[in-house]
Structure 1
Amino acid sequence: MVKVTQPVDSAHLPPKVRELLLARKTARDKHDFALSDQLRTQIATLGYLVNDQGDDSAVLKLGDKDTKPAKNFLLLFGSGEIAKSSVDIYRRACLTFNKRDLRISLITTPAGFQPNVASVYGEIKEFLLTSLPDFNLTVDIVMANTHQDASSPALVSRLSGADIILLGPGSPTYAAKHLKNTPLLDKIIELVKNGSTLILASAATLAFSRYTLPVYEIYKVGEELHWLDGLDVFTQLFAPLTIIPHYNNTEGGSGLDTSFCFMGQGRGTQLLSLLPPSTPIIGLDEHTALLIDLVTHNQTIHGKGTIHDLTYSKNRI
């Protein structure tokens, strides 16, 4: 299990904590791990968490909910945001925040049309609480299911102080329609620009893109191939990206190509040709995440798959 790390300079530790740390180091050197664990518990009662790193130990100050995260990210999931394979992705990101008390706002808009929307986001909440036991999480499900909800000052105020904002499955076009030109979307962007981390999965990655794909409308209803304007949030935070989640989807089996977010490669190629040349597009595999540092713009890929540069050029096709 990955442990929380937030080194605190020993000069800033209370004398009693330093004394217990020294005693614990002696116990560890003697391989008296039972005593070491007892001393660790005593240190925790004084408001500090010990994280062992090889022969050294780091200390995390508890009760740091008002501390600004040391880093902030854009974390994009192609799918699998509550799969076992994603646990380490969340943990690795959270470890870099250098704080244990984390406030998470789950925004339900993408699935706001579903009768079971509360259950969908309740499952995400339970997953986070179970998967991140080393952190003291406060998880708030913000039921912003309509444009009216997303325009409510009382609802928007609930995001204040959020370290992490997460939107997930549902319909990308529904999410874009009901978040567009709302105080809630403005608040999300404001928070992320000021240090919060934005996590988007599945439909939400498309909704926040430069262009969004009407997945249900084409795949289920049979509408002509087309794109709609997305919320274009990535342009304000990083770059004018369009993300295609579920890129290597195989739910259709051998009889139906459901890659390219259920469109299939044939229709996917046609869809790409409808966009302006050189539009930046990234395909994101199932159970795969793209982690973007919003300060350094460093990008890393995590999970079972990879990403695909789908940027369309008339000279390439």
Structure 2
Amino acid sequence: MPERPGVLVLMGSGETAPTMVEVHRSVVGRFGRGPRALLLDTPYAFQENAADISARARRYFADSVGVKVEVASGSGALIEADWVFSGPGSPTYALDHWRGTEVGAALKARVGSRSGATVLASAAACTVGVAAVPVYEIYKVGAEPHWRDGVDILSSLGLPVVVIPHYDNTEGGTHDTRFCYLGERRLSQMERELPDEVAVLGIDEHTAVEIDLRAETVTVRGRGALTVRRQGAQTEFPTGSTLALAELRELAKGVSGFVPAAPVAQASEEESSSATLAESVQRCESRFDAAAASGDAGALSEAVLELEGEITRWAADTEEDEGGVDQARAVLRHLVARLGGLADLSSPHDRLAPLVDPLVALRGRLRKEGAYDTADAVRDALAEGGVLVEDTPQGPRWTLRS
């Protein structure tokens, strides 16, 4: 029997979004048909809507990736499972239930044995290093910037690092929310508190870092980049980049002079061009505005229908960053309301047709009945209103006087 593939995938965000479908498919595909797949729900298990999040994630993996996923909370089948996934929620809650527990030990064992696929994203990805960012406590509650001890799964790969997802986040608009909502000021402060041998691995949103545990290669996939940051200096690997795990270790240790190779072509055109939900909403709004300016009623409807289709595609997204599906639905309702207000964009001919067509038909019936004088009076009345009626071999045709 061939050895089971070994792969670790760290995602910056978008783990149940269309942007990561091709990444998931390629990883799951390594295990053939019907792999045993587990969803570890720990990071969000405390939420009141935990069951709904699990249901949406299972639907996403079944419909978009083609794999049936079981929900698990404990260590039970973690070692035997072909594919294990964990993603959104609270890094702190996950740490409280993984660090020093059987679950954390099982996750470490999966990576250390170089067997099976382990996919950790967003909150779960935060936990895999020497230390972890307690993002909610700092960004939402106002705690002083500090680190929590991590599960340190990456130590078995010779990587003394901290992992920061959402590295290129821009949700703050007027304030800096990069680096998982820390911003440059707080991250710089926290970096000084790390041991000298520890580096930062930053993973952009809708980006995956795929580590082949047997070939010891690292590939960046998705939309953004992997950044290795150490004491203010950083090296960036854009999507499509591939490097040896040994090279990543050297960078994490601060060895200078390493020049990243040119990125290779993406494995899939869909993977490289897939837009985020926020970008799709913006595109549909722009199309709607252009159609409104040009009076193109058909294009107005197409823009609204395209947005509705994007909302359907993203319905399973469990993280819903940048407002997510709820915000997109609000935009959809706004566009539909505007569409109703712009209903008079149809041509004057189309607007008058409900009034003129019956009068032209009445004139035709009068002519058939021999009431030519009355028929001519109807024609003349229409002409006074700017409607010119012309009799053709195909029947009467009317136009508006220019």
* Uncovered stretches (5+) of structure 1, i.e. residues with no partner: 1-66, 145-149, 151-155
Aligned partner of 1:303 in structure 2 is 222
RMSD: 2.0
Aligned partner of 2:337 in structure 1 is none
Aligned partner of 2:29 in structure 1 is 95
Distance 2:58 2:230 in 1: 35
Matches within 5 A, 1:1-317: 70-97=4-31, 99-133=32-66, 137-142=67-72, 144=73, 150=74, 156-159=75-78, 161-192=80-111, 193=113, 195-237=115-157, 239-253=159-173, 255-312=174-231
Q: What CA deviation, in whole Å up to 9, does each residue of 1:147-200 have, x standing for no partner? A: xxx4xxxxx334353101111011111111111222222223334426111100
Aligned residue type for 2:153: V
Deviates more, 1:117-126 or 1:101-110: 117-126
Deviates more, 1:280-289 or 1:85-94: 85-94
Aligned residue type for 2:229: L
The CA deviation at 1:312 is 2.2
Q: Is the 8 A contact 2:37 2:84 kept in 1?
A: yes
Aligned residue type for 2:55: G
The CA deviation at 1:248 is 0.5
Aligned residue type for 2:187: G
**For 1:189, what is the secondary structure of its paired residue?**
helix
The CA deviation at 1:271 is 1.5
**For 2:198, what is the secondary structure of its paired residue?**
coil
Which structure is higher in RCO with an 8 Å CA cutoff and minimum separation 6? 1
Distance 1:91 1:111 in 2: 24
Aligned partner of 2:307 in structure 1 is none
Distance 2:123 2:2 in 1: 29
TM-score (norm 1): 0.69
The CA deviation at 1:117 is 1.5
The CA deviation at 1:278 is 3.6
* Structure showing greater Rg: 2
User: In the superposition, relative to structure 1, how do residues 69 and 128 fare at CA in structure 2: closer, same or farther (>3 Å)?
Assistant: farther
Structure 1 runs of 4+ with >6 Å offset = none
Aligned residue type for 1:301: V
User: In the superposition, relative to structure 1, how do residues 208 and 76 fare at CA in structure 2: closer, same or farther (>3 Å)?
Assistant: same
Q: Is the 8 A contact 1:234 1:240 kept in 2?
A: yes
**For 2:35, what is the secondary structure of its paired residue?**
strand
**For 2:230, what is the secondary structure of its paired residue?**
coil
Distance 1:128 1:217 in 2: 31
**For 2:36, what is the secondary structure of its paired residue?**
strand
Distance 2:65 2:202 in 1: 28
Distance 2:128 2:78 in 1: 18
Aligned residue type for 1:81: E
**For 1:260, what is the secondary structure of its paired residue?**
helix
Q: What CA deviation, in whole Å up to 9, does each residue of 1:88-113 have, x standing for no partner? A: 1112223333x112111111111122
The CA deviation at 1:118 is 1.8
Identity of aligned residues (%): 37
TM-score (norm 2): 0.55
Between structures 1 and 2, the one with greater helix share: 2
Q: Is the 8 A contact 1:278 1:313 kept in 2?
A: no
Aligned residue type for 1:127: Y
**Count of residues in Structure 1 that have an aligned counterpart in Structure 2:** 233
Distance 1:284 1:188 in 2: 20
**For 1:159, what is the secondary structure of its paired residue?**
coil
Distance 2:139 2:188 in 1: 15
Distance 2:130 2:114 in 1: 22
* Uncovered stretches (5+) of structure 2, i.e. residues with no partner: 234-253, 255-402
**For 2:138, what is the secondary structure of its paired residue?**
helix
